[in-house]
Amino acid sequence: MKTCIIIGNPNVGKTSFFLSLAEYLGVNRCEVEITDIYGKVLVKNISVNFARKYLVSTSPFKTRNVYKMKLTIPVYKGYEQLILVDTAGVTDGINEVEEIRKSMAQTLKELSQAKIILHMFDAQYIYYKKEGGISEIDYQIKEFGSQQGCYCILVNKMDKDNSQKGLDIIRDKFKENYIIPISTVDRTGFKEVKAFVGRNL
């Protein structure tokens, strides 16, 4: 089964999107496979609302494990299954916390195995930080993703102030890539993401 990874800097909204996309595709309760930084695997049957309460946070580096969920998505003729993967946020440099370093390594391992790559940015953060908000690892993910083929940039938090200006910066820096503005709050762009994933399965 093909995997679709959600990757990006901490706090851009990866976990929120992971859960909201599942909900958008009709999932209320799901089996989530959780792999910790030591490779230990646990399967939990949880509701999306419960997961949102415990897995989404206003503080960065909340996600430290890899979360996988099996989803059914409409394609040209009928339906296909895929595995959606939520990962720990990645940053430049060597983080002083060992657990965070290991979680980033795990994210990069998942990236190398993914068929579809959804690379996420926070539009408002980019507006505040301008080009400086785009890290070296973002450019490297873009290079890797562009070579892989099924690569798309999601610019999240479009419901927030000045997000359009943040989106313009991303569009300017990643001219050759397919970019979808999204919001996990009002589900802007979900239809487009569903179509992008569906046609790459």
Ligand X SMILES: Nc1nc2c(ncn2[C@@H]2O[C@H](COP(=O)(O)OP(=O)(O)OP(=O)(O)O)[C@@H](O)[C@H]2O)c(=O)[nH]1
Give 156 or 200: the residue with its C-beta nearer to ligand X: 156
Task: Give the closest residue to 15 by CA, choosing from 156, 131, 149.
Answer: 156
Give 14 or 119: the residue with its C-beta nearer to Mg ion: 14
- The distance of closest approach from Cβ of residue 57 to Mg ion in the complex, given in angstroms and rounded to an integer, is 8
Residues 40-69 that bind Mg ion (CB under 5 A): 62-63
Contact 140, 111 (CB under 8 A): no
Candidate list 56, 111, 193, 197; residue touching ligand X; CB under 6 A = 56
Using CB under 6 A as the binding rule, whether residue 184 contacts ligand X is answered as yes
Contact 82, 4 (CB under 8 A): yes
Give 58 or 147: the residue with its C-beta nearer to ligand X: 58
Report H helices in 11-95. 14-24, 48-55
Residues 138-167 that bind ligand X (CB under 6 A): 156-157, 159-160
Beta strands in the chain (DSSP E): 3-8, 29-35, 41-47, 66-75, 78-86, 116-122, 151-156, 179-181
Query: Would you give the binding string for Mg ion spanning residues 1-20, x where CB under 5 A is met?
Result: -------------xx-----
* Residue 107 interacts with which of Mg ion, ligand X, none, CB < 5 to 8 Å by class: none
Q: Side-chain half-sphere of 132: how many Cα atoms within 13 Å?
A: 2
Q: Report which residue type is found at 99.
A: E
Q: Edge to edge, what strands does the sheet with 3-8 contain? A: 41-47, 29-35, 66-75, 78-86, 3-8, 116-122, 151-156, 179-181
Residues 80-99 that bind ligand X (CB under 6 A): 88-89
* Residue 119 interacts with which of Mg ion, ligand X, none, CB < 5 to 8 Å by class: none
> Any bridge partners for residue 200, and if so which?
none
- The distance of closest approach from Cβ of residue 122 to ligand X in the complex, given in angstroms and rounded to an integer, is 7
Candidate list 4, 15, 150, 152; residue touching ligand X; CB under 6 A = 15
Footprint of Mg ion on this chain (CB under 5 A)? Answer: 14-15, 62-63
